[in-house]
Structure 1
C-alpha cells in the first residue's frame, strides 16, 4: 500500500483518525479507563504508521518543516530541563500525526481525510450534546475524575470543549464550500429567494447551545467571533483583510494580558462583559508566567503544562503565548509566530471564500488562546490547510523534495 492508497481508503482513515479524538472523559469512567489507555497505545502506533507513509513520499512541505521545528524545540527544551516522564514527550506526537495525515490527504484528488474527520467529530459532538443536556454540570458518573477546578464533559473540560466544536465548524464550512455532500434549501422563490445549508445551521446551533449550557465565556466568545467572521467577508478591493485583525489580537494581548488591571478603564469594560478585570485570577498567573519566562527566555522550561506555583497548587499560564514562551522559550514562540504569519499571508494572497474560512478558524484558535494555555492538536490541521487556497489558485508547488529543501522557489 502506498501513501496515496492510504489516504483514499476511507476505512483506513477512520481507523487512523479515531484514536486522536477518543473522548477524554472515558479516562475517568470506571470500566472504560483501560479502554482509553489501550486506544492511546493504538494512537502511538497510528502516528508511527502515518510518519512511515509520510517519509515514503520523499517530500517535505514548508509548513511541516516549521511544525517539526516547533515540536523539536519543545523536545530539546524538555531534555535540557531534565524531564524524563514519557508523557512529556508523547504529548508532542498527536499534532505531528494529524498534520502529516491531513497534508497527505490534500495531496490527492480523491482525498477523504477531511470528510472522514468531519464525520468522526460530528458523531462525537452529537453524543456530547445529548449528554450535556442530561448532565449540564458535568458527568457525574465519571467518578475517577477527582479534580474540582473545571467540570468534565464527554469531549473534555468546560473551556476545552470549544476547540473541538471550532474544529467541527471549520471543517463543516470548508466541506460545504467545496460542495462535499451538503444540500441547499430555498426558503422562498423568485428574485428574493434565499438559500441556506441546513448542515451549517444545525451544527452552529448545537455548538452554541452546548457552550451556553456549559457556561464558558471564552467558548461563547470564540464561537461568536467565528460566526461573525464567516458571515461577513472582510475584503479591501480583492484582498482579504488580515492584518487589522492581527493588530487587534496583538493589542488585546498587550492591553489585557501584559498591562491587565493597571488600566483604569479596563475594569469598566470587563464588568460590562460580566468578568472582573483580572479575568478570574488569570492576571496573577500571567504575572507569574512573565517572571518565569525572564529566568529562561531562550528555550524555556520544557513541555510542562502546569509550572506556576500559586494558591497551594500548580497552574498553567492560561494564555497560549505565555505558555509557549514558558515551554519553548522565545525561540519557540518565534517559530510559532512565523508559522502563522506564513499561513495568514497565504490566505490573504488567495482571498477566496475558502481562504476566509481557514483564516477565520485559525484566528479563533488564537483568540481562544488568549485565555487558555497550550496549542491544541486540531490547531495544526488548519495551519496545514492554510497553504492550499493560495496554491490551488496560483498553481504553484507546495512541497520540497527532501534533497532540495533549501532550494529557492519562485514567488509572485
Structure 2
C-alpha cells in the first residue's frame, strides 16, 4: 500500500463490528440494567455465557488463546489461584464469582483477541478492531450525560454497592460513573487521530465525560460533588494525555511499569495508614474535602485488616463479611472494602496479591505514545482504586490490549507467499 492511499485511510465499520458491539455491551453493561430487575440480570449473565460460546465457535480455526508474555502468564496464574480460593473457601459463591468476575474477564480476553488483527504490523491498524468499543464509549458518554441533564436528582435512588442511598443515572452512582468514563475517555483518546469523527467532537466528548464525573454527587447534580478519587483519576488521565498527544515528554512514561506500580503501592500504604501523618491528613482534608475517616473508609480498612491477619496467605474467597460503618450519629454497615489492593488481599491473601502484582510488574515497555496512553489508563484505574473496588474486567482490558496490540507488534511475520497470504486472509 503506497503512502497516498495510507494517508487517506478511513476506518470502516464491518458487519462483524456490530457483533462485537453486543459483546462489549454485555461485559460492560451499565449498572442501571442490573438494577432494573432480576430477569435483566439473568439475561445479561446467560447472554454472556452464550456470547463466549459463539466467540469460541467463530474462532475455532484461529489461534486466539496465546498467553506467551510473562505478564499474561501471571494473570492466568492469578485467576487460577482466585478460582481455587473461591472453590475452597466460599463454595456457595462459585456461581456469583463466575458471573460477576470470571466470565467478564474471559469475555474481554476473547473479544480483544478476536477483534484485534495481529496480522498487521501497524499499531493503528490493529486498533481498528476496537471500533465497536469506540462507538460504545461514545454512546455511554452521551447517553449518561443526557440522563444527568434530564434527571438531575437521579433516575432512581439505590443503596446497592454503597453504605448509603445514592442518586443513580445510566452509569450508576457517583462511585460507578468513574470506571465507565475512564475506560470510554481512554478509548476515544486511542482513536483521537483517526478520521472517524471531527477532532473537535472527540475533544467535546472527553470534556462531557469529565464533567459527568465532577457533577454526579450523592444526592443530585452539583459540580465538584462527585467521587473525589474519580475526579483525581479522570483529571490525571486527561491532563497527561494532552501532553502525550502534543508530543510533550512526560518523565514517568520512560519508566518501566514495575517502578510505577511500586510507587502506586507506596501511595496505597500511605493512604491506608495516613491518618497519623500530618501531610496526608492535610491532603485528605484540604484537597479531597473528606474527614480523616475518608467518609468511614479507614474504619472499614481497620476491620478488613483485622480479618486479613487471621488468614494472611489464602484470604476468604468471595465470602462477604459485614463491616460496621458509623455515619453521623447512626451505625450502618457494608460488605465493600473500598480499596483495590486490600480487596485482593482480603479475598485471595498474600499469595493472590503477589500474583496480582506480578501481572503488572512484568508489563513490558514500549516507546509508543499509544502504549503510554494505555499505561496512563491503568494508572487512572489504580488511582480510582484508592477508595473504591474495581471489577476485574476494567483491570484487565488495558493489559490484554498490550498483549494483543503491542506484544505481537514485533513477533508477527507476514506470509512469505501469495498463496499463504490468501489462505490466511492477510491484508496489508
- TM tier relative to shorter chain: 0.7 to 0.9
Match of 1:9 among 7, 13, 16: 16
Q: What residue is the counterpart of 1:101 in the other structure?
A: 111
Match of 1:299 among 286, 310, 314: 314
SS at match of 1:396: coil
- Work out whether residues 162 and 334 of structure 2, in 8 Å CA contact, stay in contact via their aligned partners in 1: no
Q: What residue is the counterpart of 2:77 in the other structure?
A: 69
Structure 2 unaligned regions, length at least 5: 1-13, 217-225, 326-331, 414-428
- Work out whether residues 151 and 157 of structure 1, in 8 Å CA contact, stay in contact via their aligned partners in 2: yes
Q: Per-residue deviation at 1:162?
A: 0.7
Q: Per-residue deviation at 1:360?
A: 0.4
SS at match of 1:371: coil
Q: CA separation in 1, counterparts of 2:299 and 2:179?
A: 25
Q: CA separation in 1, counterparts of 2:254 and 2:346?
A: 36
- Work out whether residues 260 and 278 of structure 1, in 8 Å CA contact, stay in contact via their aligned partners in 2: no
Q: What is the RMSD of the two structures over their aligned residues, measured on CA atoms?
A: 3.0
Q: CA separation in 1, counterparts of 2:354 and 2:135?
A: 35
Structure 1 unaligned regions, length at least 5: 1-6, 184-196, 399-412
Q: What residue is the counterpart of 1:3 in the other structure?
A: none
SS at match of 2:373: helix
- Work out whether residues 183 and 377 of structure 2, in 8 Å CA contact, stay in contact via their aligned partners in 1: yes
Q: Per-residue deviation at 1:34?
A: 2.9
Q: What residue is the counterpart of 1:225 in the other structure?
A: 236
Q: CA separation in 2, counterparts of 1:278 and 1:54?
A: 50
- Work out whether residues 105 and 393 of structure 2, in 8 Å CA contact, stay in contact via their aligned partners in 1: yes
Q: What residue is the counterpart of 1:277 in the other structure?
A: 292
Q: Per-residue deviation at 1:303?
A: 2.4
- Work out whether residues 16 and 46 of structure 1, in 8 Å CA contact, stay in contact via their aligned partners in 2: yes
Q: CA separation in 1, counterparts of 2:393 and 2:257?
A: 23
May I ask how many residue pairs the two structures share in their alignment? 369
Q: Per-residue deviation at 1:147?
A: 7.6
For 1:19-38, what aligned pairs fall within 5 Å after superposition? 19-29=26-36, 34-38=39-43
Q: TM-score, normalised by structure 1?
A: 0.80
- Measured at CA, do residues 173 and 374 of structure 1 come closer, stay the same or move farther in structure 2, by a change above 3 Å? closer
Q: What residue is the counterpart of 1:87 in the other structure?
A: 96
- Work out whether residues 81 and 301 of structure 1, in 8 Å CA contact, stay in contact via their aligned partners in 2: yes
Q: CA separation in 2, counterparts of 1:66 and 1:294?
A: 25
1:268 aligns with 2:288: no
- Work out whether residues 112 and 404 of structure 2, in 8 Å CA contact, stay in contact via their aligned partners in 1: no
- Measured at CA, do residues 316 and 372 of structure 1 come closer, stay the same or move farther in structure 2, by a change above 3 Å? same
For 1:122-137, what aligned pairs fall within 5 Å after superposition? 122-137=138-153
Q: Per-residue deviation at 1:174?
A: 0.9
Q: Alpha-carbon deviations, 1:257-283, whole Å to 9, x = none?
A: 1x2211133322222111222211111
- Measured at CA, do residues 332 and 50 of structure 1 come closer, stay the same or move farther in structure 2, by a change above 3 Å? farther
Q: Alpha-carbon deviations, 1:29-69, whole Å to 9, x = none?
A: 3xx65344323321121123334556653442235443332
Q: CA separation in 1, counterparts of 2:79 and 2:298?
A: 28
Q: TM-score, normalised by structure 2?
A: 0.77
- Measured at CA, do residues 90 and 15 of structure 1 come closer, stay the same or move farther in structure 2, by a change above 3 Å? same
Q: Alpha-carbon deviations, 1:169-198, whole Å to 9, x = none?
A: 111111224x25244xxxxxxxxxxxxx21
Q: Alpha-carbon deviations, 1:205-239, whole Å to 9, x = none?
A: 11122112212212111110101221224445994
